[in-house]
Amino acid sequence: MPVHAMTPDYHGDVKDARENYHGNIMVFIGWDHHLLFCASKAIPLPPDMTFGQLIEQVMPDAFGQHPEFKKINWETANWLLDGQAFSPDLSKGLEEQGVGHKSLIRFATPELMGYANAGI
Amino acid sequence: MATKLNIKDKYRLLTRDLDWDFDYQDRKEAFPQEDFEGIKITDWSKWEDPFRLTMDAYWKYQAEKEKKLYAIFDAFSQNNGHVNVTDARYVNAIKLFLTGVSPLEYQAHQGFAAVGRQFSGVGARVACQMQSLDELRHVQTQVHAMSHYNKFFDGFHEFPHMHDRVWYLSVPKSFFDDARSAGPFEFMIAIGFSFEYVLTNLLFVPFMSGAAYNGDMATVTFGFSAQSDEARHMTLGLEVIKFLLEQHEDNLPIVQKWINKWLWRGYRVLALVAMMMDYMLPNKVMSWKEAWEVYFEDAAGSLFKDLARYGIVMPDYVETIAKEKEHLSHQAWWIFYNFTHASAFHTWIPSAKELDWLSEKYPSTFDQYYRPRFELAAEMEKAGERFYCSGLPQLCQVCQIPMGFTEMDNPTLISYRDSVYKDDRYHFCSDGCKTIFDDEPEKYVHSWLPVQQIFQGNCGGADVETVLKDYYRINMGADNMEYAGSPDDLRWKAWKGVA
């Protein structure tokens, strides 16, 4: 039973449906083992934004406060998209390569272990 | 002249005798919410009143307490009691209480009034109505106690408005909304049993002893004044669970599921208490970890042993909580340190002495995982870049807390869980929250998540600053931001004559 309700066949309205985002999709982005940022960021993005644009235009605002940000080598970063290993194509749009509404993109930077090598 | 009733007759007339038979209406239609949850009640007359109290005795007793309470409030106010607290940082704990907890008393008032209408058993109805009145009294006394602080400190001025809108207050608010939008029996297990009986000591004792340890007599006094009410609420919570389990064996799996759910829901709300205890009290009472051990592991341990005869087992995820007790408060405080610019209270880096206290209380985690966070924060602050996290965080669909909790076997990695329901993806901070969603996705698809609402343009502005200022009514630069150098800090130093 998807809900225990008095009303037969009750359905909730989906508050975060894609159509509520004015053409954008909502994407969550997290940098593994860099807990200066207490949580992943929630960012509304145009679905046709390329991954290259994401790295150049979105990442600095989202993660540039970290002292290790400038040292990131994007070529060696490992990516997870919704929990699955993922090799982003920098020239392709987000949606085109499987980034959906409310997808979670995680990246890990193997050579950067966070502040004091403590995952921060 | 009418004869005076003896106590026994009076009790009967003013409680059980308030019921009546339905001779031309269907009783089921009069109590339409009683069946849909699947709970089976075979005989309401088996309900044992958890406390023997009639309304006239109740009024008399409560009036006595009120008289004493307000005399102390007056004295506190006339003597400028606020300058006798240990440090103005302490006041942030009661800002959190007023915005986060007092409105829950009001929600409890409404919730018990609602279920007090829905039970066809009169004993349960009367008990719920009395608790409803208690809860209304609690919110009133709390507001009156805090109104003195409101004259001298920032962050108190818009508490009911903020409770309905501000991102972190959606955590306690949605907890109660969840309970109140459930059926009456689930509400009683959620609030009456899990919250008021199992977890209450982890909410009120820390705040009240925190107040006592930090010279806040106003808060201590309303705590004392509520204590005898709370004792009644606990007996009601216990009666409900025993009654349901004794009525029908089919109730057991339903009740067990609710206990599992509401222990986890309640525990997640208590993350706010954990950080209050470990970080916000200048004079600390005990650590969160110690409190969990005393008030849950010891006390609830024997409760669940007692309930074992009905077939109830220890709730799911108690082992996870036991592991998290080493981490919870630090991760919660860090979320607020990150987003202090969006909060109606201040945060700070613990002093050297406080950092050492944390190391001592959390020997297996603090120095390894959390002290370095504050070292980095201190370096940034020293460089003139006090860290305020840019952007907005990902939230858990169920508890609504920013997803800052980590895996317990890998404490520098965020714990991510998700479910796909009807082509939409939903994110959770934990197995506990995911399980709750998966059981009733249609309920949680319409969680009002503050971050999502901001991005959808439903919070009155496109940029975060407008949302904070106009939609949340945060008095920018006064209610929010770092404690050091805040108007609260400067006023306190002026009163105390220190630079």
- Tell me if B393 and A119 make a contact (CB, 8 A cut-off): no
Contact list in A for residue B446 (CB cut-off 8 A) is 12-15
- Tell me if A120 and B425 make a contact (CB, 8 A cut-off): no
Distance (Å, rounded) from C-alpha B346 to C-alpha B481?
6
CATH of residue A47's domain is: 3.10.20.560
- Tell me if A6 and B391 make a contact (CB, 8 A cut-off): no
| Helix B431-439 with B251-269: angle, nearest 10 deg | 130
Residue A1 has pLDDT above 70, yes or no: no
User: Distance of alpha carbon B442 from its chain centroid, rounded?
Assistant: 24
* CB-neighbour burial class of residue A53 (10 A; exposed 0-12, middle 13-18, buried 19+): middle
Distance (Å, rounded) from C-alpha B56 to C-alpha B46?
25
**Residue B50 phi/psi, 5° resolution?**
-70, -25
- Tell me if B451 and A2 make a contact (CB, 8 A cut-off): no
Q: What is the pTM of this model?
A: 0.96
Nearest residue in chain A measured CA to CA from B456: A21
Write b or e for each residue in B330-348: b if 16 or more Cβ atoms lie within 10 A of its Cβ, otherwise e. Answer: bbbbbbbbbbbbbbbbbbb
Contact list in A for residue B403 (CB cut-off 8 A) is 39-40
Best interface-test mutation with B: which of A16, A27, A32, A59 has the largest number of B CBs within 10 A?
Answer: A16
Domains of chain B and any CATH numbers: 37-496 (1.10.620.20)
List, in sequence order, the alpha helices (H) in B342-425.
Answer: 352-361, 371-382
The residue among A10, A34, A20, A42 whose CA lies nearest residue B396 is A42
A105 occurs within a structural domain: yes
* B147, B213, B230, B260, B388 from B177: Cα distances, Å: 26, 33, 21, 18, 30
The widest CA-to-CA distance across chain B, in whole angstroms, is: 84
Of B390, B445, B456, the CB nearest to A61: B390
Of B387, B390, B443, the CB nearest to A12: B443
**pLDDT for position B385:** 96
* CB-neighbour burial class of residue B294 (10 A; exposed 0-12, middle 13-18, buried 19+): middle
Task: Retrieve residue B261's tokens.
Answer: 């759910």
A4 pLDDT band, cuts 50/70/90, is: confident
Contact A43, B394 (CB under 8 A): no
Contact list in B for residue A11 (CB cut-off 8 A) is 442
Q: What stretches in chain B show pLDDT beneath 70?
A: 1
Characterise B82 by phi-psi region: left (phi > 0), alpha (psi -120 to 50), beta (else).
alpha
Contact list in B for residue A16 (CB cut-off 8 A) is 424, 449, 452, 456
Q: How far is B145 from chain A (nearest CA, A)?
A: 34
Best interface-test mutation with B: which of A3, A6, A15, A113 has the largest number of B CBs within 10 A?
Answer: A15
A59 occurs within a structural domain: yes
Q: What spatial distance separates the first Cα and last Cα of chain A, rounded to whole Å?
A: 42
Computed from CA positions of residues B489, B491, B497, B499, in that sequence, does the dihedral angle turn out positive or negative?
positive
* CB-neighbour burial class of residue B226 (10 A; exposed 0-12, middle 13-18, buried 19+): buried
- Tell me if B368 and A43 make a contact (CB, 8 A cut-off): no
List, in sequence order, the alpha helices (H) in B151-287.
Answer: 159-165, 170-180, 184-187, 200-213, 217-247, 251-269, 271-275
Is any Cβ of chain A less than 8 angstroms from the Cβ of B36?
yes
Contact list in B for residue A37 (CB cut-off 8 A) is 338, 389
**pLDDT for position B1:** 59
Of B393, B442, B452, the CB nearest to A40: B393
Question: Total domain count for chain A?
Answer: 1
Is any Cβ of chain A less than 8 angstroms from the Cβ of B221?
no
- Tell me if A12 and B445 make a contact (CB, 8 A cut-off): yes
Q: B277: Cβ–Cβ under 8 A, 6 or more apart, which residues?
A: B206, B210, B284, B285, B286, B287, B288, B291, B329
Distance (Å, rounded) from C-alpha B153 to C-alpha B345?
10
Residue A97: domain span: 29-117
Task: Return the DSSP state at A20.
Answer: G
Please count the other Cβ atoms lying within 10 Å of the Cβ belonging to residue B447: 23
Q: How far is B365 from chain A (nearest CA, A)?
A: 12
- Tell me if A4 and B38 make a contact (CB, 8 A cut-off): yes
The residue among B345, B481, B334 whose CA lies nearest residue B403 is B334
Is any Cβ of chain A less than 8 angstroms from the Cβ of B394?
yes
Please count the other Cβ atoms lying within 10 Å of the Cβ belonging to residue B119: 23
A35 occurs within a structural domain: yes
Contact B245, B252 (CB under 8 A): yes
Contact list in A for residue B392 (CB cut-off 8 A) is 41-42
A70 occurs within a structural domain: yes
Three-class DSSP category at B41: coil
Is any Cβ of chain A less than 8 angstroms from the Cβ of B402?
yes
For chain A, percent helix, then strand, then coil, each to nearest 5?
A: 20, 20, 55
The widest CA-to-CA distance across chain A, in whole angstroms, is: 56
